[in-house]
Amino acid sequence: MKRAFPLLIVAALLPVVLADVTNKVPVGTYLYAKPANPEENEGRLTVRFATPGERLVVAWGRKWRKDRKTREGTVETERESFKPYLGKPIDDGAGAIFWNLPVDRYDIVVIDAKTMKIHEGVLLMRDGDPGQPIDQFLAEVRDTLSPRQDRIGGWEGFFDHKRFERLESNGVRAGVFLQQMRLGTALAESGAVLQGCIHSVDVIWVERAKVEGVGWQVVDRQQIYRAEIPPRVFFEYHHVPELSGVRVGGTPREIGPITLP
């Protein structure tokens, strides 16, 4: 039987790991860095929160982001270390610790699939200009990339619901933080219907299209989170500046406790 191509993608992405918290939270294992020789990196970061919780905490370095460094000429082992890093929960989720981080500045993303909240401090554009008409650009990106009923369009068609949370731009390019959900039917490799809802949290980089009437087009993407979880709603979203630009060097670094809204 011929199976739709997006369903094959879903099947390939279903392997999960369980976060070390009371209520296990499955996440896509391929998203996070697994360097071949982690001991070569001496950086260590501890992030502490004002309250415990069942959180997945991600640290994303700036140096090797796709909007800054090309992957051309790199090998798979190198690219593995360019990915975001997944923290290990400590103190009943009141903190997370990262060992063996490369020296860099890191932005933190905190995802709680129990309370359905997401907190992030991501620098979306290296050369963003706060004087740009951000609200206008965000509306244009939403119009261009969201699923449409009146014409062929949109982006990443597997996800039938999208919410564009925040945008930074220099006027020509933009970085966008967004959430996506698949509310339609999705199948496991066995052919069984998945009972949960597939959620994705992404940063995409877009640029103004050169074709009239097209608006903006995606030039790159970094997926931060992907999981099949029961809630069929978006995460409650919060931008938290304290989670932005944490410098990690050769000595252990600790931040917090941070109060999450």
CA atoms of 231 and 37, how far apart (whole Å): 37
How large is the average pLDDT for residues 114-143?
A: 96
Lowest mean pLDDT among 78-82, 173-177, 203-207, 218-222: 78-82
* Dihedrals phi, psi of 77, to nearest 5 degrees: -65, -35
pLDDT tens per residue, range 181-237:
998 776 666 666 667 899 999 999 999 887 776 789 999 999 999 999 999 999 999
Do residues 143 and 119 make contact, with C-beta atoms less than 8 angstroms apart?
no
pTM, to two decimals? 0.84
CA atoms of 169 and 225, how far apart (whole Å): 23
CA atoms of 188 and 16, how far apart (whole Å): 13
Confidence of residue 73 (pLDDT cuts 50, 70, 90): confident
Q: Check residue 193 and give its pLDDT.
A: 67
- pLDDT over 70 for what percent of the chain? 82
> How many other CB atoms are there within 10 angstroms of residue 257's CB atom?
13
Which residues have CB under 8 Å from 64's CB, separation 6+? 81, 82, 104
Confidence of residue 8 (pLDDT cuts 50, 70, 90): very low
Q: Check residue 3 and give its pLDDT.
A: 45
How large is the average pLDDT for residues 34-53?
A: 95
